[in-house]
Structures are given as C-alpha cells and as structure tokens.
Chain A
C-alpha cells in the first residue's frame, strides 16, 4: 500500500483541494473577463472582489461590512444545507429556492400584517417551507414525479403567491414591503449584543450562530444517527433500503420536508434580520436557493464544508459591489461573482479527475 497515494485518496483532502482549484479557476476566468472589458482596472477590480470588506479603510467600517457578509451567509448556508441534506438521500432539491420564497413570504406577512413576535414568524416560515418541501416529497413518493420538475414549478408558484400575499403589506409608493423596524420591531430577530461587536451593525442577529449550529446538527444527524443511516442507505441504494425494511416513501417525504424546513428557516434568517425588504414586483425567484446548490458542491457535499463555502460565495458577491463603478458597468459585480459561483459547480469534476489520475494505483476493486 502506497502512503502518498492514500492522502490523495482521502475524501476530505480531495474535497478541500477540489474546492480550492475551483475557486482559483473561477477567479482566473473572472479576471480574464475583466481584462477583456477594460484591462486598465482589471487588477484593482479582482482585488476588490477578493478583499470585500477589507477594502474599507477604517477598522469599524471593515467590521460592519464583515457583519453584512455574515448576515447574508446564514440564509445561503441554510439553503445549501437543505440541498445537501436531500442530496445525501439521492434527491436533488432544486425546490429549495421556492421553499425559501415560501418561508420569506410567510415570515414577512406574519411580521408585518399580524405583527407577531419574531419566534412566531420563524415558526411560520418553517411551516411554509416545510409544506412546500412536503408537496414535492409527496408527489415523488406516491406519484413518482421527479423532484426537480415539481420543485421548479413550485418555485414559480411560490414566487407569485408571495408577491400577491405581500402586496397587502407594501409601501404605498414603492414595490418594497414595509420596514419591519418601523411596523413591528418585535418581529426582528434578537441580536444578543452581537451587533455591537460588529461596529453597531443592527442586522447582525442570532441567525448567524444558529445557522452554524444547524450545520453541525445536520452533519451529526446524517452521519451519527439511525435516521441518517436510513436516509443515506436509501440514497445509495433504495432497493437495498427496502429489502432491509426501511420505509422508502416515508423517508422521501421526510427528507424533502426537512429540506423545506431548512430553506424556509433560511428565509426567516434573512428577512427577519431586516437587512432587505421584499419587492412584490420581482419576476425572478431569489437566487439564494440556487446559489445554495453552488455552495453545497463547493462545500464538498459536507455540511461543515458548506459553512465555509457559503461564506466564500457571499464574500465575493459582496466584494463585487466594491468594484469601481466609474471603470466598469454596474452589472460587472454580479457577472464576476456569477462566473465564480458557476465554476464552483465543477468541484465534482475535479474530484473525478483526481480519482482518474490515481486509479492506476488505488482504484476501487470490484
């Protein structure tokens, strides 16, 4: 047995290496695009993207911007966990985007129209997201409808339902929903003093530590519990799972329900931090759920890895807004971060290449 090979074969090592390669390639391609558009400012722009909050001159401003990045990381992490969890059971939960929308609509409506306290809003977001997930799971288990198809359709149904619902609680003169801070301050997630640490960033709430804790819980559930054992067995080989007496239909529905709960919870983490309002005229499903797919793969399909990949994706997305807008058109920041996120999806490809190149020495034996 060759020791050197075994390191390259190590799953964790492979995942991290593949993620790093993706990041480097993504930054490189982004840099090339910047060079093509305007060579003069390309270097400054790519540096700005990578530095994000570090571009700010003062310490407190940096901290405050780091806080913003973290606020946006927690909902992305939740969406990524939703997709990751389902993926382990062999289900591709592209409906996470719609489950996120459902959660957003429900928690905002509960906060703005009913003026419920924050924890009630969170619970309702969970219920809405979970319900959307359950519908997909039910269709999959009992009607054999592919979860990708029903998920995507529900994304759109969810978007327009929520637009309709939230039209009742919007500003009279703009498409945005009312400000939670003025209508119902009790609907905002508690900060527990963390905001003060991030230079009085009022958007920093318990959502950030909670999402990290949930990531760890998801990992534990998948890898250490009987429930996770069943779910992963179903994902690997559902015939064998059936043979072993596992209830496949129940597990599919449960899995997608949990996926929906995670995504719905993510939405409440975002909108109940009051960092942004919902625009009832938007005609595309928020990208959070889809970026969750990139975060999942970049995180090596591991809930813990997803914590870091989610942060990275939000880091470069916000970094994009630091680009000098007098040199580049305003769309460039989205374009560059989109390119990098897109390339994150190539993690599995790089892993495959690594396995191929080493197969002469240590491939699987039949």
Chain B
C-alpha cells in the first residue's frame, strides 16, 4: 500500500490565454490535513477541479493509493471516495437540505424514496460534528453558512475518504471556524485525508500538517507546518513581503452621510422581521462595521438600505435626503453596493467583463447614444481603464466572459466598478470573501483610501480580523437588532464574541 491517498503528479492544465496549472505536484498522505495555499487565480480551484473530474488535465497523472486513475467526471471521483465542498455551492435551490444531501445516492424501495433512514443518518452526522441544519428548510431560504454545512454533510453522508474543502471558512463565524477546525482534525484522526484549500494563514497554521503553495499556476513548494511561520508562507504565496495589518490614519468623522431611523425589514425566509427597529448613523470619513454571526439580519439590513427589499417601516436619509421610497437606481447615484453574493447579484456571469464593468453606468450618456445604442468604444476604453487601475486579471481582457474568471478577479471587477462611481456612501458586504492576503491588503487599502477622501463606508463583515483591522466603529447585530457599539481600539475579540452570541447587549443610540 502506498503512503499517499492521492498523488497528483506534474499536472498541467491550460485555458485560452492562461496556464492555470503548470507542472504542479501534490501528494496527500493518508490521515493528514494538507493545506493548499495560493493567491486568487493561482490555480487552486482548477487543480481541485482536475482532481474532482470537472476538468481534464493536458499533462500529468493522478494516483489513488499508488494506482494510476483516470478521473473523467465527478461520478468517477465519487466512486473513488473523493468528496468536495466547493467554493460556490452546488446545491439545488428549491430542494430541502435533506433532499440535497441525498441527491444522487437516494435509498429507494420499490421505486419510492426512503427518506427516514437518510434523515436519521443525516441527523446523527449533524449531531456528531455539530453541523446544525434544518433538514426540511429549502436551500433558497437558508443562510450561506447553513448552505455550507449542508455541503459538508453531503460529503460526510457519502462516506468519502478523501475530503476536499475549497475555502470552507470564508463565510463562517469565528466560533464556527473553530468548530470546523475541530471537525477537520477529528475527521483526519479517523483516517480521512483532507485537502484544505485556503489562503488564511492562521487557519492553516492551526489545522494543517503540511502545506503546498501555488503561485500563478506554478508549484512553489511543500512545507511542514511545524517548521514554518505565517510570514514564510505568505512570502511563498505572494512572492514578496506582505503587510498583514492594514495601515490607516485616525478617522476624521465629518457630517452625517447616512442616517437610519427605526428601520424594520421583513424576512423572506422566516415570516418575521429580520431587521428590527434599527437606528444608526454613518459619518463622512469613517468606516462603520456591522459585525455579527451570519444570518442575524445583516443581509436584510443591506437589502433594505440599497432597495433590494422594501422597508416594513422606518426611514433612511442619505446626505440629508429621504431615500426609503426611492428605487435602486435613484439610490445608486450616491451609494455603491458591493454585494455579498457576487454571482447572484454582482455580475451577469454570461456577459463579458466590459459589459459587467458598466452594469451600474450603462444608461449614462457616456455609454449610450441618444437613440439608445450602446457606445462600443467608450465601453471598451472604460473597461480597459478599470482593468488596468484595479489589476483585474483575465484570459482575454475586456471580452473575457465573467464566468470564466477566477473568484478573486470577479470580486476585483465588482470593487473596481463600485469604487469608480466615487459614491458618498459605500456599502461593502464581505468585500474580501474568498480572497487571498495580497488581494485583501489591496482592497482594504482602497476602502480606507475611499474613507480618507471624505466618504462614508458601511462595511458588513463576518470576519473578526477584518472587523478589528479596518473599522473605526463597530456595531454588532444579533437577531436583527444592534446590540452593541464598540471601539475597535478598546475592545477585544472576546468581548465582540459575547455581543455576537447575544450574551451581552446594551442600548445603542448611535
């Protein structure tokens, strides 16, 4: 028997205009947690897709338990016991959690589904690993965090031996991340082999045994976690020294830009109010962060602010003008919105990059003639300028179809588009979700620069590190209410955690 559960040897995979993997070799030992580290677009997702049978590599071999295998599609991968939690979930929106978990491996009797057994198994797994889900809720109604737990359960339900986690912590709360780390360790202790794709150095340091690093499609090396440091890993990943903490000057709060009074927003999923009677202000020149565990009303708060959902009651004033009855387009004049879900809201994936770049501007005279014709030239030039300024990398430049771009570059494109509008108020929801340290550093400094130009920023984030690093003021949301306001310089993550868990609350009138 081989020492390795999976070996990927000298894998090369090309796409039009780009070599996604260039002679990459990784070897996954049995029972180890092997981290795969790399910037966005470094080729991690592609490599995993090759392993999972979604793509075929042009060169190289894959070995399972020392024997060469051909993985032609995900079914073959499944038969080999390889399971994957994708970065972008592969769930049927209108199916229940349970139905999604058993999809493809349903137990049937005389052609009828036997869901009771499946339900028992799922609930047992869910209890065992603390992956709490409501098996009967529809996917479209539950939070991103719960969707991910469904994906993990899906993999566990299939008794897979090799588990691929593609950036699993990107949307989890700190507590959930800790739990996931414990789950991963116990899975490895049971003999499962885990490939953990991440660019969060602290998580890799906590959980992984070894780490392989990719940079721009090339294999850089594999190191033992015990003998390395975060600094060394980040240098291997980015190719230069990286500033891990955002540098920013003291905030200079000016006049009130956004004033929210007694805002209530109904929840689509649970037939109650997701945002309850919330009031707060954001001033020019400050970054106010809404912190909280996923699913405590942050999404609905942003929907209410940006006009994606109507308010049940309350008022919103932007630059002194009441906007709660305005359309999305009217609001977008002074407000930019970096959405939580870049695939659902942020991009038209089947449009080219240039068409996506003008998604919030295409109606302006700069891009459309009096007769209603789009102006090709100006759109192209505009897109090229943003691509240049924000370093958006893609296979074919402005004409690249957005779907074919890496997640990080898709996000950069959205940020470029939204920041270039130079809004008085920037609403940024999870702007660095799924991005690597290099890109995070870049986005954080851009958000801070936007603040320093005298604009207001409302940042919604689930990542405590980001909350503590970037914000000037933190508002904590719990069950649809703002339960605390803290100063990031005077608080600790422990105190924040207490607010986020609802164990501590105070009256907030900010």
Contacts and interface: CB of A to CB of B under 8 A. Distances in A.
Interface of A: 1, 6, 224-227, 229-230, 232-233, 236-237, 239-245, 247, 359-366
Contact of A243 (B58, B345, B395): B345
Contacts of A233: 348, 351, 359
Given A362-B16, A366-B88, A236 B373 contact: no
Contacts of A6: 16
B374 A224 contact: yes
Nearest to A221: B372
Among A6, A359, A361, A366, the most chain B Cβ lie within 10 Å of the Cβ of A366
B165 to A, nearest CB: 16
B332 A236 contact: no
A242 B18 CA distance: 33
List the 5 shortest-distance A-B pairs measured between CB atoms, nearest first.
Answer: A245-B329, A360-B56, A243-B345, A245-B328, A236-B350
Given A224-B373, A236-B350, A243-B346, 16 more contacts: A1-B14, A6-B16, A224-B374, A225-B374, A226-B368, A227-B372, A229-B374, A233-B348, A236-B349, A237-B348, A240-B359, A244-B360, A245-B327, A359-B55, A361-B58, A366-B45
Contacts of A244: 328, 359-360
B348 A1 contact: no
B20 A226 contact: no
Contacts of A241: 348
Given A6-B16, A226-B362, A229-B362, A240 B56 contact: no
A362 B15 contact: yes
B337 interface: yes
Nearest to B355: A229
B58 A225 contact: no
A245 B332 contact: yes
Contact of B16 (A1, A360, A366): A1
B404 interface: yes
Interface of B: 14-18, 20, 45-46, 49, 55-56, 58, 88, 306, 308, 327-329, 332, 337, 339, 344-351, 355, 359-360, 362-363, 368, 372-374, 395, 401, 403-407
14 contacts: A1-B17, A225-B372, A226-B362, A229-B362, A232-B351, A240-B346, A240-B348, A243-B328, A244-B359, A359-B56, A360-B56, A365-B15, A365-B405, A366-B88
Contacts of A239: 344-345
B417 to A, nearest CB: 10
Contacts of B17: 1
B406 A365 contact: yes
Contacts of B363: 226
Contacts of B20: 365
Contact of B348 (A225, A236, A364, A365): A236
A263 to B, nearest CB: 23
Contacts of A229: 355, 362, 374
B349 A243 contact: no
A236 B337 CA distance: 20
Contacts of A237: 344, 347-350
A336 B329 CA distance: 53
Contacts of B18: 365
A317 B279 CA distance: 69
Contacts of A363: 55
Contacts of B348: 233, 236-237, 240-241
A226 B374 contact: yes
Nearest to A247: B327
Among A6, A229, A242, A364, the most chain B Cβ lie within 10 Å of the Cβ of A229
A328 to B, nearest CB: 43
A239 B308 CA distance: 9
Among B88, B328, B348, the most chain A Cβ lie within 10 Å of the Cβ of B348
Among A1, A6, A243, the most chain B Cβ lie within 10 Å of the Cβ of A243
Contacts of A242: 308, 328, 345
A93 B335 CA distance: 37
Among B88, B344, B345, B407, the most chain A Cβ lie within 10 Å of the Cβ of B345
Contacts of B347: 237, 240
A78 B20 CA distance: 45
A365 B404 contact: yes
Contacts of B372: 225-227
Contacts of A232: 351
Contact of B351 (A236, A359, A366): A236
A241 B351 CA distance: 12
Nearest to B86: A366
B46 A365 contact: yes
A204 B46 CA distance: 58
Contacts of A1: 14, 16-17
A227 B362 CA distance: 10
A364 B359 contact: no
Nearest to A363: B55
Nearest to B328: A245
A366 B49 contact: yes
A224 to B, nearest CB: 5
Given A233-B351, A242-B308, A245-B327, A225 B373 contact: yes
Contacts of A245: 327-329, 332, 360
Nearest to A224: B373
A298 B382 CA distance: 37
Contacts of A230: 362
A212 to B, nearest CB: 21
